[in-house]
Amino acid sequence: MLAVQDLQEIQESLKEALLVEKVNLDRLRKKVRQLQVIELGYRQCYAVAPVATDGGENNLSLEPINVEIVRVVDSDGRVHFQDFLPLSGDPEKLGEKLFQEVPILRKLIQELGLSDWRELSYLYFSIKDQPDPETILAISDTRRFIKVLRDILEWAALVELAFQSSQPVFLLIRDGLLRTKFIKKQIFPRLVEVFKRAYDTHKAMIVGVAKRSKALNYLSLALTMEGIFDRWAPCFAEVPPELEQEAYTWAHTWMEGQCFGRLHLVKLVEGRDALILPIDIPEWLMPRRKEVFEYLAETAKSSYPVPGYPYPLIRAHENANLSGLEMEIISDLMSKALVEGVDIDDKEKIVRYITLGKGLIKGGTRHSE
């Protein structure tokens, strides 16, 4: 236990350290005072958001058997992708199969003008690309493959939707900022051109909405102390690139090459303490940014259970993740498929194992002592 003297020494030491750090806060407060805050109204539009299942939310496990359920569903309930992926599978074979058979992945490769899916992203590294066997193992396992695949599938669904709508005012909402680490830096500009073409030909606008970001975390205390968003009306302010760059130790990766969004902090609904979101808007929409944010504000003004968050994203997450009953049904189907795939002598053992396991989990099986 710390003695009183120790606590006094700690307090003095903390004061000295905080005095040094306060210089950074004062400097940042001076910078955020210069942000231009623009108030917003509301405009109606057709908005849609595709979302992939969260990692670990939808999986089936009966050790050592593990299957990941990957789904991409949009806010209108359209399923763009759904499959059961074995976690012990070969990532390269899995990639080969998916990019040949899944329409939205084939379309993505076609729109980007690629001849091989391996050119697209960091889904798989061959020995030629990276000679270190341990690194190969770390970056090429199936769990990592699926994590990258989710991001690629969301981009693929956005590309598909961008060329489909005939709505006069059409807003695509990405779940996350308009940037990624998973598409190769030399390929990413092609993806940017695809969305620019979709805007030119189909008027498909796109924004990227995140729940959090390092830039917002970095600026939040200074913003609060200066009362930058302390007003009732919905509003936004652009974050200058040099100010955003201060928040990242790897800004050259996150803000250059694999990014096509200009970062804004946006309050989409009324209220002095309403939610503030980091939102990316592409360069070609900057002349219309107030209009675009007003379309987005319309989608958020009656959202539930997160007030101020775009409802299409909330709805897409609800659609993508399977409910408890749905998971029960799929789990039963998995059990049935497993039983059908073993020798007759093992069927009864597996059924008993699964039944016992379910009973123990639900608390329905009791053992007499």
The pLDDT of residue 362: 37
pLDDT in tens, 170-183: 999 999 999 998 89
The edge-to-edge listing of strands for the beta sheet with 204-209 is 37-39, 235-238, 261-267, 276-282, 204-209, 170-175, 46-48
CA dihedral for 30, 32, 36, 38, sign (positive or negative): negative
> Element (H or E) spanning 338, and its range?
helix 324-340
Whole-angstrom distance, CA of residue 147 vs CA of residue 152: 9
**DSSP state, residue 76:** T
Tell me whether residue 250 is exposed, middle or buried, using C-beta atoms within 10 angstroms of its C-beta: 0 to 12, 13 to 18, 19 or more.
exposed
The pLDDT of residue 309: 96
Whole-angstrom distance, CA of residue 175 vs CA of residue 58: 18
Segments in the chain below pLDDT 50 = 127, 131, 135, 139, 359-369
pLDDT in tens, 237-252: 999 999 998 888 665 6
The pLDDT of residue 59: 62
Global confidence as pTM? 0.84
Q: What share of the chain is helix, strand, coil (3-state, %, to 5)?
A: 50, 20, 35
The pLDDT of residue 303: 85
Phi, psi dihedrals of residue 153, rounded to the nearest 5°: -65, -40
